């Protein structure tokens, strides 16, 4: 299958490589030369340079605006009936608007946000939360088979995939923020951080994010696997979606303010669990140092 | 070992039975006749009626005030060097105050809150988060062996066990509240609640509480295994501890307000995941009905 892999960032690069490994004819697209070099040839700086007859697009860019621009640039290169797999995290309204724009032009559109992190992407084992027509799923199947360990088929209407992803990010963001809040309080109260971690991760207070992110806080390792600014972006998406629905979100709102504070402090490019530095700045607690 | 098991509630009853199964000479204590009947003989209404020469107390009542009253009543019956295992959830300051009161009188004191729920208590497999002197741990060992699958030895000073338990309850309470927030938002946005549950529980947005509590929301089963009012109590303990430390808790505070709202709505004795009814009341979403 002739595929354009648009966006060679932490997820997109791995997914593009997985597509190539599966035998597809993949052209990588990224304006950053270093990202194109990491992928190898063929790679182009703009979706306008995709080869004619491209049958599928995997769009793994930052947001809806970048997705919109990439699709406009790619359009002249697309084969009739090509499938667009739209995997950036965006609001349900944005996903529906994109589908409404591209389906009438004879293309299939799959609202298909992903999760799993860079390692899973590299292994071709992402989780895809998708909605769209049966025809869109069928057209995208060879692509999905190459990049995903699990494809959730959430409904026939674009927007449901985005909804589930946004709700998932609400949980993920609040879980990271409360992990930081709890660890910081425990440290201030005199608990040993490692013992607290061991107790929580073996008990009913555990979350996937507490276990994963606080392990890095315990070793002072703030290199970003997923950065604070990603949750500033994603929790703002949550807030936008809820505002449109007139839906109050006391917890997600508090978490968004904490990530915003961390970013304002200059920690935006640090690993997201280091939102704990907001509590450190407020209370003067001593965080674990790198070994 | 001659043991007084004070408090035959959802955790205390199971723990008392586990002690008896292990061959100890156990007297149950509870003012409620139904609870004494569930335990069988010997059981008494007040700790003042414990047999002379009681060597150990397991105190599994609601809070520090009940613990204080029970110890005062039990004192004349205690053997010299008896060990007090104090397992009610209370603030670290309260745990330290109780230890400071009873250790100078020649008793051992273990600050030993528990978790695990009624089923684990019945099986003698609670998790105990304990701190206290080596002598207190040694004296309590036969009792702990009978009731616990895991005993965390968190330090030599009373108060650390309580600290870790309170921080654990912060996480547990926020995880339940945000599970409700996310599920409610997903329902409002048109996601299928069961599909949302399946995606989240297989992804990085999962928590132990989301998985456990939202399963009951999906079937409309609001019979209380752990009631809303327990988290009103425990998150107020969290708030009290943080106030004493001048420690800001944006997320735990928001969660406390949600549980308080649920209790004000008359849902205090419902299963704690039904804090989701606060979102239902605010937004008019339709929750799953019992099958």
Is the pLDDT reported for residue A124 higher than 90?
yes
pLDDT band at A116 (very low <50, low <70, confident <90, very high): confident
Predicted confidence (pLDDT) per residue in A163-194, tens digit: 999 999 999 999 999 999 999 999 999 999 99
Residues 103-142 of B with CB under 8 A from A: 115-117, 127, 129
Q: Which stretches of A148-227 are DSSP H helices?
A: 160-188, 193-201, 208-218
Is the pLDDT reported for residue A273 higher than 90?
yes
Cβ-based contacts of B186 with chain A (< 8 Å)? 163-164, 167
The C-alpha of A155 sits at a distance from chain B's nearest C-alpha, in angstroms, of 9
Sheet holding A43-44, edge to edge: A43-44, A25-29, A2-6, A54-59, A78-86, A108-111
Nearest CA in chain B to A280: B247
Which of these, B108, B97, B100, lies nearest to B55 by C-alpha position? B108
Is the pLDDT reported for residue B116 higher than 90?
no
Tell me the C-alpha distance between A100 and B215, whole Å: 35
Beta bridge partners of A4: A27, A57
Q: Are strands B43-44 and B25-29 parallel, antiparallel or unpaired?
A: parallel
Query: What does the pLDDT average to over B53-63?
Result: 97
Nearest CA in chain A to B242: A185
Centroid of chain to Cα B103: 24
Residues 25-54 of B with CB under 8 A from A: none
The C-alpha of A84 sits at a distance from chain B's nearest C-alpha, in angstroms, of 22
Query: Which one-letter DSSP state was computed for residue B156?
Result: S
Tell me if A122 sits within 8 A of A171, measured CB to CB.
no
Asked if the C-beta of B11 comes within 8 angstroms of chain A's C-beta atoms, the answer is: no
**What's the complex ipTM?**
0.94
CB atoms within 10 A of CB B257: 14
* Lookup: tokens for A39: 């992928």
DSSP result, B274-291: GGHHHHHHHH-PPPPPP-
* Mean pLDDT over the full length of chain A: 97
Residue with tokens 């509630």: B9
Structure confidence at residue A244 (pLDDT): 95
Tell me if B204 sits within 8 A of B152, measured CB to CB.
no
Residues of A belonging to the active site:
165
Tell me the C-alpha distance between A23 and A1, whole Å: 8
Tell me if B147 sits within 8 A of B120, measured CB to CB.
no
Tell me if B83 sits within 8 A of B142, measured CB to CB.
no
Cβ-based contacts of A212 with chain B (< 8 Å)? 204
Tell me the C-alpha distance between A127 and B205, whole Å: 12
pLDDT band at B72 (very low <50, low <70, confident <90, very high): very high
* Mean pLDDT over the full length of chain B: 97
Of B165, B233, B246, B270, which is the active-site residue? Answer: B165
CB atoms within 10 A of CB B139: 23
Identify the burial level of A161 via C-beta atoms within 10 angstroms of its C-beta, where 0-12 means exposed, 13-18 middle and 19 or more buried.
buried
Structure confidence at residue B190 (pLDDT): 93
Report, in angstroms and rounded to the nearest whole number, the Rg of chain A calculated over CA atoms.
20
For A104, list phi and psi in degrees, rounded to 5: -65, -15
Predicted confidence (pLDDT) per residue in A211-262, tens digit: 999 999 999 999 998 899 999 999 999 999 999 999 999 999 999 999 999 9
pLDDT band at B216 (very low <50, low <70, confident <90, very high): very high
pLDDT band at B10 (very low <50, low <70, confident <90, very high): confident
Is the pLDDT reported for residue A64 higher than 80?
yes
Structure confidence at residue B3 (pLDDT): 98
Q: Are strands B25-29 and A2-6 parallel, antiparallel or unpaired?
A: unpaired
* Lookup: tokens for B274: 């039904």
Tell me the C-alpha distance between B4 and B61, whole Å: 13
Q: Which of B125, B128, B182, B194 to mutate to test the interface with A (most CBs of A within 10 A)?
A: B182
* Lookup: tokens for A98: 């994109």
Asked if the C-beta of A202 comes within 8 angstroms of chain B's C-beta atoms, the answer is: yes
Nearest CA in chain B to A250: B254
The C-alpha of B168 sits at a distance from chain A's nearest C-alpha, in angstroms, of 6
The C-alpha of B208 sits at a distance from chain A's nearest C-alpha, in angstroms, of 6
DSSP result, A81-115: EEEEEE-S---HHHHHHHHHHHGGGT-EEEE--EE
Q: How far is CA A229 from CA A81, A221, A232, A252, in A?
A: 37, 17, 5, 15
Structure confidence at residue A10 (pLDDT): 86
Is the pLDDT reported for residue B175 higher than 90?
yes
When CB atoms are compared, the residue of B186, B248, B251 closest to A178 is: B251
Tell me if B183 sits within 8 A of B193, measured CB to CB.
yes
């Amino acid at each position: 299958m002739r595929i354009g892999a648009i966006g060679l960032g932490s997820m997109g690069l791995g997914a593009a490589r997985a597509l190539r490994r599966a035998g597809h004819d993949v052209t990588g697209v990224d304006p950053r030369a270093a990202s194109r070099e990491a992928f190898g040839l063929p790679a182009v700086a703009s979706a306008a340079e995709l080869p004619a007859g491209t049958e599928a697009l995997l769009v793994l860019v930052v947001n809806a605006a970048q997705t919109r621009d990439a699709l406009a640039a790619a359009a002249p290169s697309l084969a009739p009936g090509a499938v667009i797999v739209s995997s950036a995290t965006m609001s349900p309204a944005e996903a529906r608007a994109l589908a409404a724009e591209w389906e009438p032009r004879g293309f299939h559109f799959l609202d298909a946000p992903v999760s799993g992190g860079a390692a899973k992407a590299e292994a071709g084992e992402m989780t895809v939360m998708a909605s769209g027509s049966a025809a869109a799923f069928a057209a995208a199947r060879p692509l999905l088979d190459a990049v995903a360990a699990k494809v959730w088929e959430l409904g026939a209407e674009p927007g449901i995939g985005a909804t589930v992803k946004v709700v998932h990010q609400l949980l993920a963001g609040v879980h990271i923020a409360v992990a930081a809040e709890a660890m910081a309080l425990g440290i201030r109260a005199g608990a040993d951080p490692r013992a607290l971690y061991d107790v929580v991760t073996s008990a009913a207070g555990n979350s996937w994010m507490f276990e994963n992110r606080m392990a890095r806080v315990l070793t002072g390792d703030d290199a970003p696997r997923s950065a604070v600014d990603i949750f500033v972006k994603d929790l703002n998406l949550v807030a936008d979606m809820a505002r449109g629905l007139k839906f109050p979100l006391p917890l997600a709102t508090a978490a968004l303010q904490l990530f915003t504070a961390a970013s304002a402090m200059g920690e935006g490019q640090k690993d997201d669990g280091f939102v704990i530095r907001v509590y450190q700045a407020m209370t003067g607690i001593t965080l674990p140092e790198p070994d």
